[in-house]
Amino acid sequence: MGLLKHRGPDWSGLYQHGDFYLSHQRLAIIDPASGDQPLFNEDQAIVVTVNGEIYNHAELRKSLPNHKFRTGSDCDVIAHLYEEHGENFVNMLDGMFSFVLLDTRDNSFIVARDAIGITSLYIGWGLDGSIWISSELKGLHDDCEHFECFPPGHLYSSKNGGLRRWYNPLWFSEAIPSTPYDPLALRRAFEKAVIKRLMTDVPFGVLLSGGLDSSLVASVTARHLAGTEAARQWGAQLHSFCVGLENSPDLKAAREVADYLGTVHHEFHFTVQDGIDAIEDVIYHVETYDVTTIRASTPMFLMARKIKALGVKMVISGEGADEIFGGYLYFHKAPNKEEFHSETCRKIKALHQYDCLRANKSTSAWGLEARVPFLDKDFINIAMAIDPEWKMIKLGEGRMEKWVLRRAFDDEENPYLPKHILYRQKEQFSDGVGYSWIDGLKAHAALQVNDKMMQNAKHIFRHNTPTTKEAYYYRRIFERFFPQNSATLTVPGGPSVACSTAKAVEWDAAWSNNLDPSGRAASGVHLSGYEQQAVLASAGVVPPEILVNLPRMMNVAAPGVAIQS
């Protein structure tokens, strides 16, 4: 239990029944007074421990009129739903969750993980025949002969000893959808996804990088906060949080969005050395050696610590939009809508190994919960049903990446965001916090790893052999904490290069020699802010007058525009 105490510092619970042990570290968000776990049904024959949030718990309680609930916790419905519906209730849950449920009547148990894998979960097996379940690797690796990632959208049943998929939406088959694009339907679905995540009994805020995704989360949250129970408890003014190196792109953009929305903005600065000093802790907590994940996790890890120190226990974040709408810059090269859609499906299915892993573990390291409205089940269903022809990137027609999302919130009468923020091109999170961050990491790794190490890397690390000194440096730290082969296999295969995925290379062979996963490496695609706005202005997407003001806001020179300090 102590190994996972950071995830839930508010309460420790332990239940034992024969050879079964259920332990829980609680981070109290809903009903802090009485929602301690494990949770039970009326006669305590069914026991459950849960990590996550069930957003539709109030509706589910109403569907169980003959049941008596012991607590006000959102997770209290799970034991009662099982009692009523058996193993087939999981699809009724709307939320993010991982849980273990024990039925003491026949000593059977089930394990389930949410649809996309927002919450982390692992399963392991001991030589003595035991089965272990844990939110993190560190809870398993000393006791299990073999362990692996518990797949998202799946349920394990001890009755048949195997896994089965409970989440199987239409988009999962990757069949090409044909629903016409309806910007208002998309907007309403996202607003609904954000609003349901305002369910809280503790102080909360939003992560705000100044990019499109987090800015939309903040905008919708700010609009709907007033008049809610949370507003009455914690104050109607929303708190926002951003992290970056001094004068980084994200800090500047986030500050402007915060001023526009009227949030109480908290700006956290870190230095390259601060980040380097935290790398070992980040790898221990995030449990990966993937380069892009570690680069992005480190600033988030540092920020989460400071957010928790302010007394905040929950934040709303913007992960998932790039996967759903094809926001990564190599999507510019997608040859047709079929390829585009297939790649978005693949990216969503892999989220639990990348952005979800980062968001969950970087925040949970400090007892902070991150909620992600873009990964709402209903919102994904609507967004992935859109004919992907609408998602295709066609700059000549004013359709940049994630255009369908931007257009849905382009409200002239009641603007959600300033135009240049709404149409700001994507930055990798690790780039946006400051370009010297990645350069500093590479320089530090070069001091730790010499050429001879790289020459022999294939003999030391036979699986996922690192191809850069930075990757070697992270891998060496990871294997010191998690030396088992099972741990190595939980990290995605192949070189950790976002722009060198098989699909990206297939679309543009010029990227095959690119060994750096930074968004800057997408040569010829990542335009300067001025160039991007110029293209959009010429297509009539943004007003021309923005071109005069943009260089001043970005603090860069533009053709024909002089900047006076």
Q: Please measure the distance between the N-terminal and C-terminal CA atoms of the chain and give it in whole angstroms.
A: 56
Q: Residues with Cβ < 8 Å from 129, sequence gap 6 or more?
A: none
**Cβ atoms 29, 369 nearer than 8 A:** yes
E strands, 377-531, where? none
317 labeled binding residue: yes
Distance CA 171, CA 26 (A): 34
Query: How far is the C-alpha of 207 from the C-alpha of 362, rounded, in Å?
Result: 13
Facing residues of 23 across strands?
Answer: 14
63 appears as a binding residue in the annotation: no
Q: Report phi then psi at 280, rounded to 5.
A: -65, -40
Report the SS3 class of residue 110.
Answer: strand
Q: Are 47 and 104 in contact (CB under 8 A)?
A: yes
Give the DSSP H/E element, type plus range, for residue 22.
strand 20-26
Reduced to 3 states, what is the DSSP secondary structure of residue 402?
Answer: coil
Residue 226, judged by CB atoms within 10 A of its CB (0-12, 13-18, 19+), counts as exposed
The answer to whether 207 is a known ligand-binding residue is yes
One-letter amino acid for residue 93 of the chain: L
Q: Is 243 annotated among the ligand-binding residues?
A: yes
Burial of 430 (0-12, 13-18, 19+ CB in 10 A): buried
Residues contributing to the annotated binding site: 74, 207, 243, 317-318
Residues contributing to the annotated binding site for ATP: 207, 243, 317-318
Residues contributing to the annotated binding site for L-glutamine: 74
